[in-house]
Structure 1
Amino acid sequence: MQIVFYARVSTDEQTAAHQAKQAKAAGFEIDVVVADEGVSGVSTALADRPQGRRLFDMLRRDDVLVVRWVDRLGRNYADVTETIREFMRRGVIVKTVINGMVFDGATTDPMLMAVRDALILFMAATAQAQTEATKEAQKAGIEHAKGREDAYLGRKPSYTRKQFDSVVDAFNRGEAVAAIHKATGISRGTIYRIRDNRGQAEAALARWAA
């Protein structure tokens, strides 16, 4: 049996090493780290990523696949649910660092199977919903800024687009403000403002074309 950690890194502010460090801190003994960098989880299915394809080749029955959260596998509902089910069909156990979820195809108890499958569906839906919410916020911010070139721009945001996305991503995973502050370097006050009024924070970025 081998324990394989998979990381998907989509921005310059994320690193595979950081994600692997989180997993080890959570108690996972990792044998192999596999990472795709600069890859979108929205438009590129796991099987279409260079290192994602490698997972399907290297994982065998009783192996364990560890990911920070299911959004590392993808942000498309259908793709994520089918990916997890395919690994389970192969006898691979999928575990998440955040929330400590375990998806094991060896489960035969009907109630446990129902709970497991419901969790897969819920977490995959959450990953896609998070992406769609971010897109809508971006759209609202852009629309708010259109045609207002002479308008007062307001205070320039103290965070970048990548930092904003990281904060939103972290809140959707249920992470605490203190942890987000430590990971992003953004002040706690700013993180609270993003949490409490995401649309306004997004609009500020759009006004400054950030």
Structure 2
Amino acid sequence: MQTVLYARVSTLDQTIEHQQTQAEAAGFKLDRVLADHGVSGVKTKLEERPEGRRLYDILRAGDILVVRWIDRLGRNYDDVKQAIEQFMRRGVIVRTIINNMTFDGSTKDPMQMAVRDALIGFMAAAAQSHAEVTKAAQIAGIAHAKSLVGEKRYKGRKPSFNAEQLTGVLNLLEQKAGVSAIAKATGLSRQTIYRIIDDPAAAQMSLVEWEVVRSKAA
């Protein structure tokens, strides 16, 4: 039996090392780490990514697949749901670092199966929903930032968080984590987290605006 961490990073603000450190800190003893760099979870299915495809080749019954959260497998409802179900049919156990969730296909109890399948569907839907909200905020933020640059009215400061930290906060909020736990996990102040909670769309837009303004000034 082997324990394999699968990590995916889609931006320069994310790192494979961070996801591996999180897994080890959560108590996982990793035998292998597979990672895809610069790959979108929205546009590219798990089986279409170089290292994601390898998972289907190396994982066998009894193996454990570890991911930081379900959105590392993908951000499309059908893709994520089908990937987890396929691994379970093979006898692979899927576990998450955040909240230590376990998806095991070995149970035959109909009630346990119903709860498990409903939870998989909910988490897959949450991954896609979060991606869609983030994309909408980015589009609005870019348009707003360009108008501010053109009129030379942008007075904002560099955000106190990066894209990975913002994603981490939003993911943990979805899991009902407390502010103190989120602060510890992301390295952000409680005040910053409260600002994100008050207006997550504005937090995303501030990151986009800063990048647009900075690129215009370069």
TM-score higher than 0.5 here? Answer: yes
2:202 to 187, 200, 204: 200
The offset of 1:192, in angstroms, is 2.7
Task: After superposing the two structures, state which structure 1 stretch, 87-96 or 135-144, moved more.
Answer: 135-144
The offset of 1:7, in angstroms, is 0.9
Measure, in 2, the Cα distance between the counterparts of 1:65 and 1:58.
Answer: 11
What SS does the aligned partner of 1:34 have?
A: strand
- Aligned counterpart, 2:170: 171
Task: After superposing the two structures, state which structure 1 stretch, 49-58 or 21-30, moved more.
Answer: 21-30
Matching residue's letter, 1:21:
T
Matching residue's letter, 1:128:
Q
Contact 2:107 2:113 in 1 (8 A): yes
Contact 1:140 1:199 in 2 (8 A): no
Provide, for residues 63-105 of structure 1, a one-character-per-residue CA deviation record: whole Å limited to 9, x for no partner.
Answer: 1111111111011110000000000111111111111111111
Measure, in 1, the Cα distance between the counterparts of 2:169 and 2:158.
Answer: 19
Contact 1:63 1:91 in 2 (8 A): yes
Measure, in 2, the Cα distance between the counterparts of 1:165 and 1:25.
Answer: 18
The offset of 1:199, in angstroms, is 2.6
Matching residue's letter, 1:110:
P
Matching residue's letter, 2:13:
E
Question: CA separation of 1:38/1:206 partners in 2, compared to 1, >3 Å: closer, same or farther?
Answer: closer
Measure, in 2, the Cα distance between the counterparts of 1:69 and 1:205.
Answer: 23
Measure, in 2, the Cα distance between the counterparts of 1:3 and 1:108.
Answer: 24
Higher helix share: 2
Measure, in 2, the Cα distance between the counterparts of 1:12 and 1:184.
Answer: 17
- Equivalent residues in 2 for 1:51-62, closer than 5 Å: 51-62=51-62
Provide, for residues 121-180 of structure 1, a one-character-per-residue CA deviation record: whole Å limited to 9, x for no partner.
Answer: 0111111111111111122223434545225213223347xx135313432233555565
What SS does the aligned partner of 1:173 have?
A: helix
- Aligned counterpart, 2:216: none
- Equivalent residues in 2 for 1:38-57, closer than 5 Å: 38-57=38-57
1:21 aligns with 2:21: yes
- Aligned counterpart, 1:140: 140
Measure, in 2, the Cα distance between the counterparts of 1:115 and 1:170.
Answer: 26
Provide structure 2 residue ranges, at least 5 long, that are not aligned to the other structure: 214-218
Question: CA separation of 1:178/1:84 partners in 2, compared to 1, >3 Å: closer, same or farther?
Answer: same
Question: CA separation of 1:33/1:104 partners in 2, compared to 1, >3 Å: closer, same or farther?
Answer: same
- Equivalent residues in 2 for 1:147-158, closer than 5 Å: 147-148=147-148, 149-150=150-151, 152-158=153-159
- Aligned counterpart, 2:192: 190
| TM-score of the aligned structures, taking structure 2 as reference length | 0.84
- Cα root mean square deviation, aligned: 2.2
Contact 2:42 2:75 in 1 (8 A): yes
Measure, in 2, the Cα distance between the counterparts of 1:104 and 1:26.
Answer: 19
